[in-house]
Amino acid sequence: MTSIKKLSLLTIALFLIYACSSEEKIEFPEGLDVVDTEVGTGTAVAENDFVKVHYTGFLAEDNTQFDSSLDRGTPFSFQVGSGQVISGWEKGLIGMREGGSRTLTLAPEFGYGERGAGNVIPPNAQLIFEIELLEVISYPELWDYSDDELTETESGLRYKIVTEGEGEPLQAGDVAELFYAGFLEDRNMFDSSIRNPSAFYYEVGTAQAIPGWNEGVTGMRVGEERHLIIPSSLAYGEDGVGDIIPPDATLYFMVRIEGLQQENQ
Catalytic residue IDs: 55, 66-67, 86, 112, 129
28 HSE (CA, 13 A, CB side): 20
Enumerate helices (H) and strands (E) in the chain, giving the number of each: 4, 13
- Nearest Cα to Cα of residue 49 among 95, 99, 105: 95
SS3 202: strand
Q: Can you tell me the distance from the alpha carbon of 162 to that of 177, in angstroms, rounded to the nearest whole number?
A: 18
CA distance 76 to 52: 6
Run of H or E residues at 130: strand 127-137
What is the number of alpha carbons within 13 Å of residue 45 lying toward its C-beta? 30
Query: Alpha-carbon distance 225 to 11, whole Å?
Result: 43
